[in-house]
Chain A
Amino acid sequence: MSLKEILRDRETWQGIIIILSLSLVLGAVSQVGLIKRFLQGEFKQAFFSRQEYPGLVFISLPEVEELWHNQQAAILDSRPSSEFRRGHIPGAISVPLDEVKSGNYGLLQTIPAGQPLIIYCEGGDCLTSLNLARLLHDRGFRDLRIFSGGWEEWTAAGLPVEKTEEDAQ
Protein backbone atom coordinates (compact mmCIF):
# COMPACT_ATOMS: atom_id res chain seq x y z
CA MET A 1 0.00 0.00 0.00
CA SER A 2 1.28 3.45 -0.79
CA LEU A 3 1.27 6.34 1.64
CA LYS A 4 -1.28 8.10 -0.55
CA GLU A 5 -3.65 5.15 -0.34
CA ILE A 6 -3.16 4.86 3.41
CA LEU A 7 -3.83 8.56 3.95
CA ARG A 8 -6.86 8.47 1.69
CA ASP A 9 -8.33 5.48 3.47
CA ARG A 10 -11.15 6.60 5.75
CA GLU A 11 -10.52 3.69 8.06
CA THR A 12 -6.99 4.95 8.81
CA TRP A 13 -8.37 8.22 10.14
CA GLN A 14 -11.28 6.59 11.95
CA GLY A 15 -8.76 4.39 13.74
CA ILE A 16 -6.55 7.34 14.64
CA ILE A 17 -9.50 9.34 15.97
CA ILE A 18 -10.66 6.38 18.04
CA ILE A 19 -7.16 5.73 19.44
CA LEU A 20 -6.69 9.42 20.31
CA SER A 21 -10.13 9.79 21.90
CA LEU A 22 -9.66 6.64 23.94
CA SER A 23 -6.28 7.93 25.12
CA LEU A 24 -7.79 11.28 26.09
CA VAL A 25 -10.50 9.60 28.13
CA LEU A 26 -8.14 7.13 29.80
CA GLY A 27 -5.60 9.85 30.56
CA ALA A 28 -8.20 12.17 32.07
CA VAL A 29 -9.87 9.42 34.10
CA SER A 30 -6.67 7.84 35.39
CA GLN A 31 -5.04 11.14 36.40
CA VAL A 32 -8.12 13.02 37.57
CA GLY A 33 -6.58 13.62 41.00
CA LEU A 34 -3.39 14.99 39.54
CA ILE A 35 -5.28 17.21 37.08
CA LYS A 36 -7.30 18.63 39.96
CA ARG A 37 -4.15 19.40 41.92
CA PHE A 38 -2.63 21.01 38.84
CA LEU A 39 -5.69 23.24 38.39
CA GLN A 40 -5.49 24.21 42.05
CA GLY A 41 -1.98 25.47 41.35
CA GLU A 42 -0.01 22.89 43.27
CA PHE A 43 2.60 22.36 40.54
CA LYS A 44 2.98 26.02 39.64
CA GLN A 45 6.69 26.20 40.37
CA ALA A 46 7.79 22.67 39.66
CA PHE A 47 6.44 19.24 38.96
CA PHE A 48 6.86 17.51 42.25
CA SER A 49 4.47 16.30 44.88
CA ARG A 50 4.39 18.27 48.11
CA GLN A 51 3.26 15.14 49.91
CA GLU A 52 6.39 13.39 48.69
CA TYR A 53 8.69 16.27 49.58
CA PRO A 54 7.20 17.94 52.65
CA GLY A 55 10.49 19.55 53.64
CA LEU A 56 10.89 21.48 50.41
CA VAL A 57 9.61 25.00 49.70
CA PHE A 58 10.26 27.81 47.23
CA ILE A 59 11.31 31.22 48.47
CA SER A 60 11.68 34.62 46.86
CA LEU A 61 14.56 37.09 46.76
CA PRO A 62 13.51 39.22 49.80
CA GLU A 63 13.32 36.10 51.96
CA VAL A 64 16.71 34.91 50.75
CA GLU A 65 18.20 38.33 51.34
CA GLU A 66 16.90 38.48 54.89
CA LEU A 67 18.11 34.99 55.79
CA TRP A 68 21.46 35.71 54.16
CA HIS A 69 21.81 39.06 55.91
CA ASN A 70 21.04 37.61 59.32
CA GLN A 71 23.12 34.50 58.60
CA GLN A 72 20.17 32.29 59.48
CA ALA A 73 20.66 29.78 56.69
CA ALA A 74 23.36 27.96 54.77
CA ILE A 75 23.36 28.76 51.07
CA LEU A 76 24.15 26.04 48.56
CA ASP A 77 25.13 26.75 44.95
CA SER A 78 24.20 23.85 42.67
CA ARG A 79 25.82 25.24 39.52
CA PRO A 80 29.02 23.75 38.05
CA SER A 81 32.12 24.71 40.05
CA SER A 82 33.51 26.81 37.17
CA GLU A 83 30.50 29.09 37.36
CA PHE A 84 30.72 29.20 41.14
CA ARG A 85 34.32 30.39 40.91
CA ARG A 86 33.32 33.18 38.55
CA GLY A 87 30.92 34.56 41.12
CA HIS A 88 28.43 33.48 43.77
CA ILE A 89 26.36 34.68 46.69
CA PRO A 90 28.82 35.60 49.49
CA GLY A 91 29.19 32.73 51.94
CA ALA A 92 27.61 30.16 49.62
CA ILE A 93 28.92 26.63 49.55
CA SER A 94 29.56 25.03 46.17
CA VAL A 95 27.67 21.76 45.78
CA PRO A 96 27.60 21.22 42.00
CA LEU A 97 24.83 18.80 41.13
CA ASP A 98 26.81 17.32 38.22
CA GLU A 99 29.65 16.38 40.59
CA VAL A 100 27.33 14.89 43.21
CA LYS A 101 25.55 12.90 40.53
CA SER A 102 28.80 11.52 39.19
CA GLY A 103 29.46 10.06 42.62
CA ASN A 104 31.21 12.74 44.66
CA TYR A 105 28.99 12.33 47.72
CA GLY A 106 31.78 13.70 49.93
CA LEU A 107 30.51 17.13 48.86
CA LEU A 108 27.37 16.56 50.91
CA GLN A 109 29.46 16.36 54.08
CA THR A 110 30.39 20.02 53.67
CA ILE A 111 26.74 20.96 54.18
CA PRO A 112 26.20 22.28 57.71
CA ALA A 113 23.44 20.58 59.63
CA GLY A 114 20.81 22.12 61.86
CA GLN A 115 19.91 25.18 59.83
CA PRO A 116 17.73 25.92 56.83
CA LEU A 117 19.37 25.29 53.47
CA ILE A 118 18.84 27.72 50.61
CA ILE A 119 19.60 26.22 47.22
CA TYR A 120 19.99 28.16 44.00
CA CYS A 121 21.20 27.76 40.42
CA GLU A 122 21.42 30.08 37.41
CA GLY A 123 17.81 31.26 37.57
CA GLY A 124 15.19 31.32 34.87
CA ASP A 125 14.47 27.76 33.87
CA CYS A 126 17.42 26.20 35.69
CA LEU A 127 16.64 22.90 37.34
CA THR A 128 19.77 21.85 39.17
CA SER A 129 18.65 23.56 42.41
CA LEU A 130 15.40 21.59 42.43
CA ASN A 131 17.16 18.35 41.55
CA LEU A 132 19.80 18.89 44.23
CA ALA A 133 17.05 19.65 46.74
CA ARG A 134 15.29 16.42 45.85
CA LEU A 135 18.51 14.47 46.20
CA LEU A 136 19.19 16.03 49.60
CA HIS A 137 15.61 15.40 50.67
CA ASP A 138 15.98 11.73 49.74
CA ARG A 139 19.11 11.62 51.90
CA GLY A 140 17.30 12.93 54.93
CA PHE A 141 18.00 16.68 54.75
CA ARG A 142 15.05 18.84 55.74
CA ASP A 143 14.08 22.51 55.63
CA LEU A 144 15.22 22.93 52.05
CA ARG A 145 14.36 26.23 50.42
CA ILE A 146 14.75 26.73 46.71
CA PHE A 147 15.54 30.22 45.52
CA SER A 148 14.17 29.88 42.00
CA GLY A 149 15.19 33.40 40.94
CA GLY A 150 18.73 32.19 41.39
CA TRP A 151 21.99 33.82 40.46
CA GLU A 152 20.31 35.87 37.74
CA GLU A 153 17.90 37.56 40.12
CA TRP A 154 20.55 38.03 42.81
CA THR A 155 22.94 39.87 40.47
CA ALA A 156 20.13 41.81 38.78
CA ALA A 157 19.19 43.19 42.20
CA GLY A 158 22.74 44.49 42.59
CA LEU A 159 23.42 42.46 45.72
CA PRO A 160 27.01 41.70 46.77
CA VAL A 161 28.85 38.90 45.02
CA GLU A 162 31.92 36.95 45.97
CA LYS A 163 34.56 35.33 43.76
CA THR A 164 37.02 32.61 44.63
CA GLU A 165 40.52 33.97 45.04
CA GLU A 166 42.24 32.29 42.10
CA ASP A 167 39.87 33.95 39.66
CA ALA A 168 39.75 37.23 41.48
CA GLN A 169 43.50 37.71 41.23
Chain B
Amino acid sequence: MENKKVKKINLSYLLGYIFAPIVICAICYMISYLAFPKGTMAVILIMGPSILSFIWWTFAGRFIYKQKQKKLEKELDESGFKRNQTFYGSGCTVIIDVENGKIALLFFWNPTESFILPANRITKTWVDDGKSGMGFMAGSSRVSFLFKVDDINIRVNTFTSNQRWRMDSDYILTGISKADKMVEILEEARKKEK
Protein backbone atom coordinates (compact mmCIF):
# COMPACT_ATOMS: atom_id res chain seq x y z
CA MET B 1 0.00 0.00 0.00
CA GLU B 2 2.90 2.36 0.80
CA ASN B 3 4.68 1.96 -2.53
CA LYS B 4 1.58 2.36 -4.65
CA LYS B 5 1.65 5.26 -7.07
CA VAL B 6 -0.96 7.84 -6.17
CA LYS B 7 -3.90 7.87 -8.56
CA LYS B 8 -6.39 10.68 -8.18
CA ILE B 9 -8.96 9.41 -10.66
CA ASN B 10 -10.12 5.87 -11.28
CA LEU B 11 -11.26 6.17 -14.88
CA SER B 12 -13.52 3.09 -14.84
CA TYR B 13 -15.25 4.37 -11.67
CA LEU B 14 -15.67 7.84 -13.17
CA LEU B 15 -17.07 6.53 -16.45
CA GLY B 16 -19.25 3.98 -14.67
CA TYR B 17 -20.56 6.69 -12.35
CA ILE B 18 -21.57 8.88 -15.29
CA PHE B 19 -22.62 6.34 -17.92
CA ALA B 20 -24.00 3.33 -15.99
CA PRO B 21 -27.34 5.06 -15.24
CA ILE B 22 -27.57 6.20 -18.87
CA VAL B 23 -27.07 2.62 -20.10
CA ILE B 24 -29.61 1.24 -17.58
CA CYS B 25 -32.13 3.94 -18.59
CA ALA B 26 -31.58 3.16 -22.29
CA ILE B 27 -32.15 -0.58 -21.70
CA CYS B 28 -35.31 0.09 -19.69
CA TYR B 29 -36.66 2.51 -22.31
CA MET B 30 -35.94 -0.08 -25.00
CA ILE B 31 -37.74 -2.83 -23.07
CA SER B 32 -40.65 -0.50 -22.46
CA TYR B 33 -40.78 0.46 -26.14
CA LEU B 34 -40.62 -3.13 -27.37
CA ALA B 35 -42.64 -5.03 -24.74
CA PHE B 36 -44.72 -2.56 -22.71
CA PRO B 37 -45.61 0.45 -24.85
CA LYS B 38 -48.50 1.39 -22.51
CA GLY B 39 -49.72 0.78 -18.95
CA THR B 40 -48.21 0.66 -15.47
CA MET B 41 -45.14 -1.32 -16.49
CA ALA B 42 -44.25 1.34 -19.08
CA VAL B 43 -44.48 4.07 -16.44
CA ILE B 44 -42.29 2.03 -14.06
CA LEU B 45 -39.73 1.29 -16.77
CA ILE B 46 -39.49 4.94 -17.83
CA MET B 47 -39.87 6.83 -14.55
CA GLY B 48 -38.10 4.36 -12.22
CA PRO B 49 -34.64 4.42 -13.84
CA SER B 50 -34.89 8.16 -14.53
CA ILE B 51 -35.56 8.99 -10.86
CA LEU B 52 -32.94 6.50 -9.66
CA SER B 53 -30.39 7.99 -12.06
CA PHE B 54 -31.05 11.46 -10.68
CA ILE B 55 -30.67 10.15 -7.12
CA TRP B 56 -27.49 8.30 -8.10
CA TRP B 57 -25.83 11.34 -9.70
CA THR B 58 -26.86 13.64 -6.85
CA PHE B 59 -26.12 11.56 -3.77
CA ALA B 60 -24.29 8.32 -4.58
CA GLY B 61 -20.83 9.85 -5.07
CA ARG B 62 -20.86 11.55 -1.69
CA PHE B 63 -22.37 8.48 -0.03
CA ILE B 64 -19.70 6.14 -1.42
CA TYR B 65 -16.95 8.62 -0.52
CA LYS B 66 -18.25 8.98 3.06
CA GLN B 67 -18.50 5.21 3.50
CA LYS B 68 -14.95 4.75 2.23
CA GLN B 69 -13.74 7.50 4.58
CA LYS B 70 -15.20 5.64 7.54
CA LYS B 71 -13.74 2.35 6.32
CA LEU B 72 -10.30 3.91 5.84
CA GLU B 73 -10.35 5.45 9.31
CA LYS B 74 -11.26 2.09 10.82
CA GLU B 75 -8.47 0.36 8.91
CA LEU B 76 -5.97 3.01 9.94
CA ASP B 77 -6.92 2.71 13.60
CA GLU B 78 -6.53 -1.06 13.42
CA SER B 79 -3.11 -0.77 11.75
CA GLY B 80 -1.75 1.54 14.45
CA PHE B 81 -1.80 4.69 12.31
CA LYS B 82 -2.18 7.66 14.65
CA ARG B 83 -4.71 10.06 13.19
CA ASN B 84 -3.21 13.32 14.46
CA GLN B 85 -4.93 15.48 11.87
CA THR B 86 -7.68 14.76 9.37
CA PHE B 87 -8.93 17.09 6.67
CA TYR B 88 -12.14 16.06 4.96
CA GLY B 89 -11.89 17.83 1.62
CA SER B 90 -14.70 17.53 -0.92
CA GLY B 91 -12.35 15.93 -3.45
CA CYS B 92 -9.70 14.39 -1.22
CA THR B 93 -9.39 13.29 2.40
CA VAL B 94 -5.99 13.78 3.98
CA ILE B 95 -5.14 12.00 7.22
CA ILE B 96 -1.77 12.69 8.82
CA ASP B 97 0.17 10.67 11.35
CA VAL B 98 2.70 13.26 12.49
CA GLU B 99 4.38 10.96 15.00
CA ASN B 100 5.29 8.32 12.44
CA GLY B 101 5.56 10.66 9.45
CA LYS B 102 2.81 9.07 7.36
CA ILE B 103 -0.12 10.35 5.37
CA ALA B 104 -3.24 8.58 4.15
CA LEU B 105 -5.14 9.80 1.11
CA LEU B 106 -8.57 9.01 -0.27
CA PHE B 107 -9.90 10.61 -3.44
CA PHE B 108 -13.52 11.30 -4.36
CA TRP B 109 -13.02 10.01 -7.90
CA ASN B 110 -11.01 7.00 -6.76
CA PRO B 111 -12.79 5.70 -3.67
CA THR B 112 -11.90 2.09 -4.41
CA GLU B 113 -8.26 2.69 -3.45
CA SER B 114 -6.72 4.45 -0.50
CA PHE B 115 -3.08 5.44 -0.24
CA ILE B 116 -0.86 5.36 2.81
CA LEU B 117 2.52 6.89 2.14
CA PRO B 118 5.58 7.98 4.04
CA ALA B 119 5.43 11.77 4.32
CA ASN B 120 8.87 12.11 2.74
CA ARG B 121 7.28 11.26 -0.60
CA ILE B 122 5.83 14.75 -0.47
CA THR B 123 8.25 16.98 -2.30
CA LYS B 124 6.51 20.33 -1.97
CA THR B 125 3.67 21.88 0.02
CA TRP B 126 2.06 25.28 -0.45
CA VAL B 127 -1.08 27.34 0.00
CA ASP B 128 -3.02 28.84 -2.90
CA ASP B 129 -5.27 31.65 -1.69
CA GLY B 130 -6.70 32.10 -5.19
CA LYS B 131 -6.14 35.85 -5.02
CA SER B 132 -6.87 37.79 -8.17
CA GLY B 133 -7.39 41.48 -8.84
CA MET B 134 -5.56 44.41 -7.33
CA GLY B 135 -6.13 46.86 -4.52
CA PHE B 136 -9.72 47.04 -3.33
CA MET B 137 -10.72 44.67 -6.16
CA ALA B 138 -8.57 41.84 -4.77
CA GLY B 139 -10.61 38.76 -4.00
CA SER B 140 -10.88 35.02 -4.25
CA SER B 141 -13.43 32.28 -4.65
CA ARG B 142 -11.19 29.39 -3.69
CA VAL B 143 -8.56 28.69 -1.07
CA SER B 144 -6.67 25.44 -1.05
CA PHE B 145 -3.54 23.74 0.12
CA LEU B 146 -1.48 21.74 -2.33
CA PHE B 147 1.23 19.16 -2.09
CA LYS B 148 3.26 17.26 -4.60
CA VAL B 149 3.53 13.47 -4.37
CA ASP B 150 5.20 11.41 -7.13
CA ASP B 151 5.18 14.55 -9.30
CA ILE B 152 1.40 14.77 -8.99
CA ASN B 153 -0.08 17.96 -7.59
CA ILE B 154 -2.82 17.22 -5.08
CA ARG B 155 -5.11 20.14 -4.39
CA VAL B 156 -7.38 20.10 -1.38
CA ASN B 157 -9.85 22.96 -1.15
CA THR B 158 -10.42 24.52 2.24
CA PHE B 159 -12.93 27.02 0.86
CA THR B 160 -14.84 27.26 -2.41
CA SER B 161 -17.65 29.55 -3.47
CA ASN B 162 -19.53 30.51 -6.59
CA GLN B 163 -18.98 34.12 -5.54
CA ARG B 164 -15.82 36.14 -5.24
CA TRP B 165 -15.01 37.30 -1.71
CA ARG B 166 -12.73 40.04 -0.46
CA MET B 167 -9.40 38.79 0.86
CA ASP B 168 -10.25 39.99 4.38
CA SER B 169 -13.66 38.28 4.46
CA ASP B 170 -14.29 35.72 7.17
CA TYR B 171 -14.66 32.89 4.66
CA ILE B 172 -11.33 33.57 2.98
CA LEU B 173 -9.49 34.08 6.27
CA THR B 174 -10.89 30.84 7.66
CA GLY B 175 -9.89 29.02 4.47
CA ILE B 176 -6.37 30.44 4.60
CA SER B 177 -6.03 29.55 8.26
CA LYS B 178 -7.07 25.94 7.60
CA ALA B 179 -4.73 25.68 4.62
CA ASP B 180 -1.81 27.19 6.55
CA LYS B 181 -2.40 24.76 9.38
CA MET B 182 -2.51 21.76 7.07
CA VAL B 183 0.69 22.80 5.28
CA GLU B 184 2.40 23.24 8.63
CA ILE B 185 1.33 19.77 9.77
CA LEU B 186 2.37 18.17 6.46
CA GLU B 187 5.79 19.80 6.80
CA GLU B 188 6.05 18.57 10.37
CA ALA B 189 5.25 15.01 9.26
CA ARG B 190 7.80 15.31 6.45
CA LYS B 191 10.51 16.34 8.89
CA LYS B 192 9.65 13.43 11.17
CA GLU B 193 10.05 10.94 8.35
CA LYS B 194 13.44 12.34 7.28
Binding partners A and B? no
